[in-house]
Chain A
Amino acid sequence: MLGYDRPMPIESVANVVIAGLLTGLVYGLMALGLSVIYGVVRIVNFAHGEMMALAMYAAVMAFAGLGIDPLWMLLPVALVFFVLGYGLQRGLINPFIDRPEHSQFMLLLAVALILVNGLLVTFGPDARNVQVDYALDSMVIGPLLVDKVRVICAAVALLTCAVLFAIFRYTRFGKAIRACADNLLGAQVVGLDVRHLYALTFGLGSACVGVAGCLLTLMFDVTPNSGPAYTLLAFIIVIIGGLGSMAGALAGGVLIGVTEAVAGLVISPSAKSMLSFALLIAVLAFRPQGLFGRRA
């Protein structure tokens, strides 16, 4: 965006940082889904980004076919993804709960492979996007110029996170899910239906990624191959934030969003994810439980 060689005025740097921060909140929502699933079910969802690509295609196709704004697709996609996630955990993943990690990894990898290539067969390899009429609007806040789309997306992402926090904090089944995460044996002893609760958790995590996918269509193109890239991005974010930590996922998302934006500005945009990986390696090496994680 700002590829010229003149010294950059402080306002444009601030604009880029703000844009990265807002995008980062949506990344954070995506990673939150992964983190919640890992925190409770102890399964690393290797098909996470692929599920998000699926949500992105749902939003893009609804816009292209019926002219529905992706923001109206949030709720339906979240519901469908909740059901999908519930079914996936109940039908496919539950028998793998006690299997070794590499076994679980293979299963989710197979799911990811089927999703990516299902999208490729159905929609072809071309990049698709959504062109809403407010796509280029921006807001002036003091000396700053902020994209309207990013502000909306970040607000929705924050709202979704708040809803999720509330569910875990105040509802009966939210508390039950936290009980499973804290003390599985204890949860079983007091008679909680762990398989049902695991499936609910996977459903909630999937709904998060569904919402994040709809939001991201407003900012980025989608191709079938976006899936694996988003899976990696989600991994980076949750590890930096701390696997299983909800606040960590959001903070990690913001950190990566800002890092990517700044790296795109200072070094070549194609090298920006290198900085994210460097950050990940540093975190893993010196604080493996993540910035917000509890030591295992």
Chain B
Amino acid sequence: MNKELNAYQRPEPQPTPTSEPFWSGLIEEKIRLQQCDDCSGWVYYPRSHCPECLSSNLTWKEVSGEGTLYSFTVANQATAPQFTGEEPQLIGVVELVEGVRVNTVMVNVSPEDLKVGMKVLPVFFRLANSTVLYFEPG
């Protein structure tokens, strides 16, 4: 029975040894991205190797989190029972000024004011056991 109840808990990030600096950064309200020492490409999500050149020489750097809304959708029905109560979900994809794209949720904005291309700023959103990267109009 407990298992079924727990089953619907809101999912949280599961940091891995590779991604841990990103998630611990969010707890400190800092956005850390990897940058490739060899090709200068920015890497998101965190990886062991650069997806541009496969170099493993990646260095964590702090970035501003400024970006634009690349696309979004307003999900009127929960995308899974685990998100019940969060409807309408304003699910977005943000392109950071570094050029990488991140999945996110838009907050502090009404659905009708969302616009592809709008400037956005990061919001460090606390869940029960972690912090995730949401965005708001900038």
Please say whether chains A and B are actual partners in one complex: no
Could you tell me which A residues sit within 8 Å of B by CB distance?
Answer: none
